[in-house]
Structures are given as structure tokens and as C-alpha cells.
Amino acid sequence: QAGLTQPPSVSKGLRQTATLTCTGNSSNVGNQGASWLQQHQGHPPKLLSYRNNNRPSGISERFSASRSGNTASLTITGLQPEDEADYYCSAWDSSLTGWVFGGGTKLTVL
């Protein structure tokens, strides 16, 4: 099953801004948009944003998402040590009639 493409790793300094990308196609990201999940080691994924830039209650405003064509992005401002985690994008794929995930990006906060 074709998945979404994410860079394997991103490293940024404390208090800097990181932008993570997620590339799909017109059947998934370009059609329904993407959601973003954060996963700390040993824990289940946690929803950060959905429908491109809606945040669940309790999620910091430092996390913002956007979409341009078939690519979704997650921007994290003012990086904190606790932001170090794996980040996954997910989307509904209308041609596959199912969900697809990106391979995940490991964010390191230096």
C-alpha cells in the first residue's frame, strides 16, 4: 500500500522553528488533507492537528499545520526538549479506500 513520504529525521536547536513535511498525492493529502500525530518513545500516538490546521483541545499553539497541493506541513515554533519525538502524518486515501500513514520523522531538539 502506497504511503505518504516524510523525511526520516530533522534536527533543530532549542527555541528554533522546525517544519516537517508530508507528501502524498491527489487521492489523499491533496484531496482530504492530512492529520498529524506525535509519538514519544514507548507511548501511543497523540493527535496534534486534523483537517490541515485544527488542533484538539490541549494542544499548544506552537503546533500549526498547513497544506499546499499534495504536501502537508507541520510547523513547531519555539522548540522545547519535550518536542523531541516521532511525528507521523496520516490521510484518507479515496482510491485505496483506506488510511495511509507517512513513515514518520524523528525530530531531535539540540
Residues forming contacts to another protein in the complex (CB under 8 A) are 1, 32-33, 35, 37, 44-47, 50-51, 56, 88, 90-92, 96-104
For residues 29 and 74, the answer to whether their CB atoms sit within 8 Å is: no
Of 14, 12, 16, 32, the residue nearest 89 (C-alpha): 32
Least CB distance to another protein at residue 28 (A): 10
Least CB distance to another protein at residue 33 (A): 7
CA pair distance 20, 39, nearest whole angstrom:
14
Residue (16 or 90) nearer to another protein, CB: 90
